[in-house]
A and B are shown apart, each in its own frame.
Chain A
Amino acid sequence: MFRFWPLWVLLLGGLLIWGMQRPDPKLLDSVLVGRQAPTFSLPVMEPFRAEFGPELGVHENLDKPVVLNIWASWCLPCRVEAPILERFHRLYGDRVLILGVNVQDTSANALAFVREFRLTFPSVYDKRGRIGIEYGFHGVPETFIIDRNGTILVRHAGEISAEQLQGYIRRVLQ
């Protein structure tokens, strides 16, 4: 048995390599892509109530593409994303709804985050994890790109860069 040691090593290596190939949730296409975005309506965070009303969400009569960004104050990549989202909101806010959903967080920390980055795009509180159930996100941050008919085009897991966001917005505005 020992004489065939290269065989054993190869088998072991093969098995483990196969084991590692199994889909990483980040790369797996969300089963929601291509389907209708689930509707919801959640309480708007205090600083945005004046402009956007008490509740906000995705619903049938929206008629605007949506960039739905799931974030939390304790999430590090969210801190990199926030200024980028803010910039795009200032550029495209009239044509695209950039909507943040704050999850797994305390309102105090969420408000502090909004203040720190001087955000003007609206965010809603998702205290009971509705978005988790409806959209099925795996972690923070995650961004869903929804076109103006309410179809989910992309689920972008992880940090989103300015170039990527630019690309997505261009797609939905066509």
Chain B
Amino acid sequence: MTPGMLGGVTIVAALIFSLLGLALAVLAHVLRDARYLEAAKRLSGLALLSALVSYGALQWAILINDFSVSFVAQSSSADNPLWVKLVTPWSALEGSILLWASIQAFYGWLVTLRVGKSLDIWRAPAVLGTLFAVQVFFFAVILFVSNPFEVVLSPPLDGQGTNPLLQNHWMMAVHPVLMYLGFVGLSVPFAYAVSAMINKRYQSWIHETRWWTLVTWGFLTAGIWTGKWWSYEILGWGGYWAWDPVENASLIPWLFATAFLHTAQVQERKGLFKTWNFALITLAFAGTVFGTFLTRSGVIMSVHAFASGPVGAWFLIFLLSVLVLGLGLLARVSSEIREAGEVQWKSREGVLLGGALLFTTFSFVVVIGTLWPLVVEAISGAEVSIGAPFFDQISMPFAITMLLLMGIGPLLPWRNSGPQIVRNLVIMLVALVSATVLGLLAGLTLGVSFTVGLFAYNVTAIWLMISQGVRERSRSLGISAGQAFAQLFATNRRRFGSHIVHFGIALAALSIAFSMTYRVVEQRTLNVGDTWNVHGMEIRLLSIGGRQEPNRFVALAPIEVRSTSRDGWGSDGHFQTRLNFYPQMDTPLATPVVRYSLYNDYYFVLMQFDTENRQWATLKIIVTPLVLWLWVAGFIVALGTLYILWPVGSRVSRREATPVAGD
């Protein structure tokens, strides 16, 4: 049994098991017979097993250099280092879909574990049925359209190798997996929502998917963040977001998911936004499929896009089906859904609604902006592209409003606001204005000063919330402030976790404002031994040389950097700037050398060098202020999310959740 055969067989098995599971789930629902449900559960486990074995077979084939397997011949090479071989499965289309499908099968199986416990047997069939349907789609695509296990009749001695862009950095091992864990995760709340609408039980699904939604959101956020960091480290242009269609594709589901995350909480506690949430989760999951479609269909030209092919059409059909299913069901049941009351704008749920509207609107704007070139071409035939300036302009008002709402929202009580809230708001606004003025006085631009102001506004808000809570508790229980704080911190996980996350977001906004506004890019050609005085640094080119590595040749131009003024603070050091030459690419790949510091990041790229006499080299330097804090902010957001999710004793969690009676 060769890995190719094993892989091929298990794909078929996974598809068959998923189809059977779907059929059984449908039967269980229609016939109201729990035995079919039991059988469906078992099939989920079998599908997962097949998927895992298939993935394992692919990995095995890569590790033993079996070039009779088409994916291995196309995307791997015998002299790839081990870690590259371990990430090769998701470095190209066929393997990445297999990874996606395996994760989908895994999540589906996890849901079956809940059947009979938090997921009652009346609703479970529809949930499992939806998840099986998604699995069927993915395994069918693998089997019929993009099969990594196709046989190569006369195997070559070596494969074509892995895209060098993906071998340059270890982040390749992390970012795609995180993104997929996030994307796939949205299918679970969606499945629950579908089931809720079919079974006309409009409330319980929110409680059950709380954990899922948060974990999925966490992975999505981590995925996007690591993607930003990866492009920053690797692509040599010193930026982390370019509004490229593929980047937008990951942002769109994230925006919907963030909106959903917050409105779901409102529904959980107050029974409001029921219709909204059905729509939001449909859009979020559809956003995921849309993103996958964009990157694999060739519809929009992009630097990142995978190879196009018939896969695009399949994903388009899937996308439209998801939209039709979710929105269609919603249209059918929306007249029956009873909200638990009206929304007051001056309450927390009002702000949350505003926030959700904001995120949703922005998401639609990004979709429109991404698809606009297509619309223009359809109407007028002209070929256009939408530049980053459009998105930058659009995101400013959105970001500002979001930061304002983020500060005031958690501060407001549910239902309505009282005088104390107004007092808090005044304090926050004072912080906003004074920090902005301070920024202007320090010579910062209006935009950056205002962001500093918003940062101060949010920090003040968090401070007010914590200090008021601490004061109340210490007064009522007669304990010290420190003890009160510790107690609150330990028991109010959601509150404090969200404080941490919101602080991280505010910090990220600050970092983005500084790093985008004050970024400096310069290039110069130096002779060996010359010095270059730029932006508070003295850079000296030491020599030009080279080094042979197993999978590439590296040209090196070491430099010595000394900081000469405050502008260049933290840049001192000895750096090896280089150009990587890969055999399968006939042009070299520049990898930047990044010097991180809490103040500025210094980026050194070797652009070109004298290939004849090794006398000169062209260097590019990029100085980006405060960008390190963006990664720190991401870490803080992750910590906050983990804190909310950390398993606690059942006593505490029951106290936190206040389920609304009845559906």
Residues of A at under 8 Å CB distance from B? 2-3, 5-6, 9, 12-13, 15-20, 24, 73-74, 76, 79-80, 104, 106, 112
Contacts and interface: CB of A to CB of B under 8 A. Distances in A.
Contacts of A2: 279
A76 B279 CA distance: 46
Interface of A is mostly: helix
Nearest to B371: A15
B300 A79 contact: no
Contacts of A3: 331
Interface string B620-654: 00000000000000000000000000000000000
Contacts of B74: 76
- Pairs A-B, 5 closest by C-beta atoms: A19-B299, A5-B327, A19-B374, A13-B320, A9-B323
Contacts of A18: 374, 378
Nearest to A82: B154
Interface string B586-601: 1000000000000000
Contacts of A6: 324, 328
A20 B375 contact: no
Contacts of A104: 586
Nearest to A74: B160
Interface in B326-362: 327-328, 331
Contact of B320 (A5, A9, A76, A106): A9
Contact of B584 (A13, A74, A79): A74
B558 interface: no
Contacts, number: 60
Contacts of B320: 9, 12-13
17 contacts: A2-B279, A3-B331, A15-B371, A15-B374, A15-B375, A16-B293, A16-B299, A17-B316, A19-B300, A19-B374, A19-B378, A20-B312, A20-B313, A24-B308, A76-B156, A79-B152, A106-B583
A16 B154 CA distance: 38
Which of the listed residues A18, A20, A76, A80 has the most CB atoms from chain B within 10 Å of its own CB?
A76
B282 to A, nearest CB: 10
B73 interface: yes
B573 to A, nearest CB: 38
Given A16-B297, A20-B298, A20-B312, 8 more contacts: A6-B328, A15-B374, A18-B378, A24-B298, A74-B156, A76-B73, A79-B154, A79-B156
A20 B298 CA distance: 7
A48 B172 CA distance: 45
B312 A9 contact: no
A150 to B, nearest CB: 31
A15 to B, nearest CB: 6
Contacts of A106: 583
Contacts of B298: 20, 24
A18 B297 CA distance: 12
Interface string B306-326: 001000110010011001100
B386 to A, nearest CB: 15
Interface residues of B, number: 33
Given A15-B378, A17-B316, A76-B74, A9 B324 contact: yes
A80 B154 contact: yes
B375 A16 contact: no
Nearest to B374: A19
B338 to A, nearest CB: 18
Nearest to A72: B160
B378 A76 contact: no
A76 B299 contact: no
Nearest to B309: A24
B70 interface: yes
A108 B568 CA distance: 49
B1 interface: no
B153 interface: yes
A74 B152 CA distance: 13
A86 to B, nearest CB: 13
A161 to B, nearest CB: 13
Contacts of A80: 153-154
Nearest to A104: B586
B378 A20 contact: no
A112 B156 CA distance: 11
A8 B380 CA distance: 21
Nearest to B275: A2
A162 B130 CA distance: 45
A13 to B, nearest CB: 5
Nearest to A113: B156
Contacts of B157: 112
A20 B160 contact: no
A15 B319 CA distance: 13
Interface in B49-92: 70, 73-74
Given A15-B374, A76-B74, A79-B156, A20 B324 contact: no
A137 to B, nearest CB: 16
Indicate the member of B308, B313, B323 with the most A CB atoms within 10 Å.
B323
A76 B327 contact: no
Contacts of B156: 73-74, 76, 79
Best-buried of A18, A74, A80, A104 by chain B (most CB within 10 Å): A74
A104 B160 CA distance: 12
Contacts of A74: 156, 160, 584
Contacts of B308: 24
Contact of B316 (A5, A16, A79): A16
B153 A20 contact: no
A15 B371 CA distance: 9
Contacts of B312: 20
B377 to A, nearest CB: 8
B65 to A, nearest CB: 15
Contacts of A73: 156
A22 B634 CA distance: 40
A2 B293 CA distance: 24
A79 to B, nearest CB: 5
